[in-house]
Amino acid sequence: MSAVIPGRKSPDVSFLTVSQPLCTRTASTAEKMLQAVVLRDQWLSAGLSMLPADRAAAEAAVCGLYRLAGLPLPGFAWVPSPAAALAVIGENEELFPLAWPRAEDRPHGAWPAAARLAGLLSGLRGRLDARVHRSPGDSWLPRGVVSALRYSPADAVLSGIAADDIFEATVYRSLRGTLRDAVAAPLRAAAEAASRGPGADGGVRIRFWGQHEAYWVAHYDVRRRAGLGGYSPDDLRELELWVVLARSVGWWWPGEGMCLMAERPAAVHTEPLAGSHHGELRLHRDDGPAVAYSDGWGIHVLHGTPVPEWVIIGPTVERVRAEPNVEVRRSAIERIGWDAYIGQAALTLIADSPDPGNPGARLSLYDDTSADGVLAGRVLLVTNGSPEPDGHCRRYGINVPAAFDDPVAAAAWTYGLAGTEYAQLARRT
């Protein structure tokens, strides 16, 4: 059973009952896309599930993978969070060696279990991609997928975009953007930052993301169930092991005769990604951790930006000025409020003008002078051209060179344009 996403709307099915008649091929594509969207949202719920792990199912699936890799069956140790897992690894490095052995050891089959399982997975995905004629990798997007990302699935179908391209956009790209990029990536960065000892995880030891790997598992599972391609029986049996893991456990680390298995989070807070046509979400919570585990570990995220806890509980001008990360500074200022921050930081207005790239908005250029009278920089305050999910447009500050006295010229500089070119823009985003 998967967790229900609070506030999630039902998929748009209007394109199945449009007033104009659909040709047989378009109607068939529409039906497949409707099913794909429903199944995608089921997988999204699994990827964000906060239910306790199904330990028996997860352990059985891992044992199945070890058998396929020709490895002895492992024992299991369960931990409450990824951070707890890294602490265990730091104390038992002999069980979790670096994934890539020395070159002189490779001919002798001295590959760690983690590396052999990663190779098993790579082979499976390569075979599944070959069966549906999909190019592996994420380095580029086919033109049809780029087009599909600009439309809802309904409009993409009616625009004649190929079913495979719509499917890639609305299932794989959507789930990858949420589960891998918006959730797993900041969790990994935070866990690595919190870990002790060199190479505790840091991309050196292989780990699997369990439920957050639903983005690629769903790509193959939904395609098959929506009637967009089939696979060999052997590959289906192997894929099913990954399906079970994505639906039953958090992250896990394969070792030599031992697997570390992490529980799923106890809390996950998300919001819709502004401008998305395919249901992507991002992490957000303004009164606590956006993702929290039962042992108290978690991460704070505001509108998709990971931030330290002080941004949530006590942002100040002093902390903002000392913060090297521009996105964290922006988030902290937004917590204070730009009007309040301008007053507290004693920013001096240099110039103000309408924004030619964003009708109805203004550009304000400020000097930021520290308490000891030293010029810290010049800040251009702008309004985002794209509204947030709640309909409001965020204001944000951009550090610009002190040579700019004209806010329009400063705004143009941020786009690599001359002031006269920016002034002629119809609208920026």
Length of the chain: 429
Last residue of a domain, one of 222, 245, 265: 265
SS3 category, 398: strand
Look-up of token digits 């490895």? 71
Which has more pLDDT, 252 or 31? Answer: 252
- 256 and 356 co-located in one domain: no
- 21 and 120 co-located in one domain: yes
Per the domain annotation, does 241 fall within a domain? yes
- 254 and 377 co-located in one domain: no
- 92 and 190 co-located in one domain: yes
User: Residue 236 has what pLDDT?
Assistant: 93
Last residue of a domain, one of 198, 233, 265: 265
- 247 and 359 co-located in one domain: no
pLDDT in tens, 169-206: 999 999 999 999 999 999 999 998 877 544 444 445 78
**Which contiguous run of DSSP H or E holds residue 367?**
strand 362-369
Per the domain annotation, does 115 fall within a domain? yes
The Cα–Cα gap between 156 and 45 comes to: 24
Tokens of residue 428, six digits: 């920026």
Query: Hey, what long-range contacts does 376-379 have (CB within 8 A, 24 or more apart)?
Result: 376/321, 377/402, 378/350, 378/402, 378/404, 378/410, 379/347
Per the domain annotation, does 275 fall within a domain? no
Per the domain annotation, does 306 fall within a domain? no
**Which contiguous run of DSSP H or E holds residue 383?**
strand 375-383
Those residues whose C-beta lies under 8 Å from the C-beta of residue 8, and which sit 6 or more positions away, are: 41
Bridge partners, residue 36, by sequence: none
The closest alpha carbon to 332, from 323, 182, 273, belongs to: 323
The Cα–Cα gap between 149 and 163 comes to: 13
- 247 and 353 co-located in one domain: no
Those residues whose C-beta lies under 8 Å from the C-beta of residue 392, and which sit 6 or more positions away, are: none
Last residue of a domain, one of 265, 283, 316: 265
Per the domain annotation, does 279 fall within a domain? no
pLDDT in tens, 325-380: 989 998 999 999 999 999 998 899 999 999 887 888 899 999 887 656 566 678 99
pLDDT of 387 higher than 80: no
Per the domain annotation, does 247 fall within a domain? yes
DSSP 267-336: EE-EEEPTT-SS--EEE--SSS-SEE-TTS-EEEEETTEEE-HHHHH---HHHHHH---HHHHHHHHHHH
The Cα–Cα gap between 260 and 77 comes to: 5
- 242 and 353 co-located in one domain: no
- Residue 88: domain span: 14-265
- 86 and 212 co-located in one domain: yes
**Which contiguous run of DSSP H or E holds residue 350?**
strand 348-354
pLDDT in tens, 396-424: 888 888 888 999 998 889 888 887 787 77
The two most distant CA atoms of the chain are separated, in Å, by 73
How sure is the predictor about 94, in pLDDT bands with cuts at 50, 70 and 90?
A: confident
How sure is the predictor about 100, in pLDDT bands with cuts at 50, 70 and 90?
A: low
pLDDT of 107 higher than 70: no
Characterize the bridge pairing of strands 258-262 and 75-79: parallel
| Mean pLDDT, the chain, whole residue set | 85
The closest alpha carbon to 184, from 246, 117, 138, 243, belongs to: 246
Amino acid, res. 411: A
- 261 and 377 co-located in one domain: no
How sure is the predictor about 103, in pLDDT bands with cuts at 50, 70 and 90?
A: low
The CA dihedral of 122, 127, 133, 136, to the nearest 10 degrees, is 10
Tokens of residue 339, six digits: 């009007």
Per the domain annotation, does 64 fall within a domain? yes
Number of domains in the chain: 2
Per the domain annotation, does 334 fall within a domain? no
pLDDT of 305 higher than 90: yes
